[in-house]
Structure 1
Amino acid sequence: MAERLKYPYEIKQVTEEEDKLAKKYYKGYIRPFIRVGPHGYFWMAGFGDHAEDIYNLEVRPDDIWVVAFSRSGTTWLQELVWLIANNLDYDGASSTSLSARYSFIEFPTQAPEIRKEKPPSGQKHHSATVNDFRNLHTLPSPRFIKTHLPLSLLPPKLLDTAKVFYVARDPRDVAVSFHYMHQLFRYFDEGVEFTEFWELFKKDLLIHMPIFPHIEEAWAKRDHRNMMFLFYEEMQKNILSVIDKVSEFLNKEYSTEQKEKLAKHLSFENMKKSSQFNFGKTADKESEIKFLRKGKSGNWINYFNTEELRKEANDYIEKHIKNSDLRFPEIN
Structure 2
Amino acid sequence: MAEKATIPYEIKNVTEEEDKLVKKYYKDYVRPFIRVGPHGYFWMAGFGDHAGDIYNLEVRPDDIWVVSFSRSGTTWLQELVWLIANNLDYEGAATTPLTKRYAFIEYPTQTSEIRKEQPPSVNSNHRATFDDFRNLHNLTSPRFVKTHLPLSLLPPKLLDTAKVLYIARDPRDVAVSFHFMHKLFRYFDEGVTFEEFWDLFKKDLLLHLPIFPHIEEAWAKRDHKNMMFLFYEEMQKNLQSVIDKVSKFFGKDYTTEQKEKLAEYLSFENMKKSSGFKFGKSENKDSEITFMRKGKSGNWINYFNTDKMKKEAEEYFEKHMKNTDLRFPEIN
TM-score by length of 2: 0.98
Query: 1:121–1:173: structure 2 CA closer, same or farther, 3 Å change rule?
Result: farther
Q: CA deviation at 1:118?
A: 4.2
Per-residue deviation, residues 250-307 of structure 1 (Å, max 9, x unmatched): 0001000000000000001101111110000011011100000001000001001122
Where do 5+ consecutive residues of structure 2 fail to align? none
Q: CA deviation at 1:121?
A: 7.7
Q: Given that residues 123 and 279 in structure 1 are in contact (C-alpha distance below 8 angstroms), is that contact kept between their aligned partners in structure 2?
A: no
Which residue in 2 is equivalent to 1:273?
A: 273
Which residue in 1 is equivalent to 2:77?
A: 77
Q: Given that residues 120 and 280 in structure 1 are in contact (C-alpha distance below 8 angstroms), is that contact kept between their aligned partners in structure 2?
A: no
Q: Does 1:196 align with 2:201?
A: no
Aligned length: 332
Q: Structure 1 residues 63-72 or 121-130, which shifts more? A: 121-130
Which residue in 2 is equivalent to 1:40?
A: 40
Query: 1:242–1:288: structure 2 CA closer, same or farther, 3 Å change rule?
Result: same
Q: Partner letter of residue 71 of structure 2?
A: R
Q: Partner letter of residue 294 of structure 1?
A: K
What's the secondary structure of 2:297's corresponding residue? coil
Q: Given that residues 103 and 136 in structure 1 are in contact (C-alpha distance below 8 angstroms), is that contact kept between their aligned partners in structure 2?
A: yes
Which residue in 1 is equivalent to 2:158?
A: 158
What's the secondary structure of 2:277's corresponding residue? coil
Q: Given that residues 97 and 124 in structure 2 are in contact (C-alpha distance below 8 angstroms), is that contact kept between their aligned partners in structure 1?
A: no
Q: CA deviation at 1:117?
A: 6.1
Per-residue deviation, residues 151-207 of structure 1 (Å, max 9, x unmatched): 000000000000000000000000000000000000000000000000000000000
Q: Given that residues 42 and 208 in structure 2 are in contact (C-alpha distance below 8 angstroms), is that contact kept between their aligned partners in structure 1?
A: yes
Q: Given that residues 66 and 147 in structure 1 are in contact (C-alpha distance below 8 angstroms), is that contact kept between their aligned partners in structure 2?
A: yes
Which residue in 1 is equivalent to 2:113?
A: 113
Q: Partner letter of residue 153 of structure 2?
A: L
Q: Does 1:54 align with 2:54?
A: yes
Q: CA deviation at 1:329?
A: 1.0
Q: Structure 1 residues 153-162 or 110-119, which shifts more? A: 110-119
Query: 1:103–1:124: structure 2 CA closer, same or farther, 3 Å change rule?
Result: closer
Which residue in 2 is equivalent to 1:259?
A: 259
- RMSD, aligned α-carbons: 1.4
Which residue in 2 is equivalent to 1:289?
A: 289
Q: CA deviation at 1:3?
A: 2.4
Q: CA deviation at 1:122?
A: 9.1
Distance between the aligned counterparts of 1:117 and 1:150, measured in 2? Answer: 27
Which residue in 1 is equivalent to 2:89?
A: 89
Q: Partner letter of residue 49 of structure 2?
A: D
Q: Partner letter of residue 250 of structure 1?
A: F
Distance between the aligned counterparts of 1:120 and 1:272, measured in 2? Answer: 22
Q: Structure 1 residues 216-225 or 107-116, which shifts more? A: 107-116
Distance between the aligned counterparts of 1:160 and 1:168, measured in 2? Answer: 21
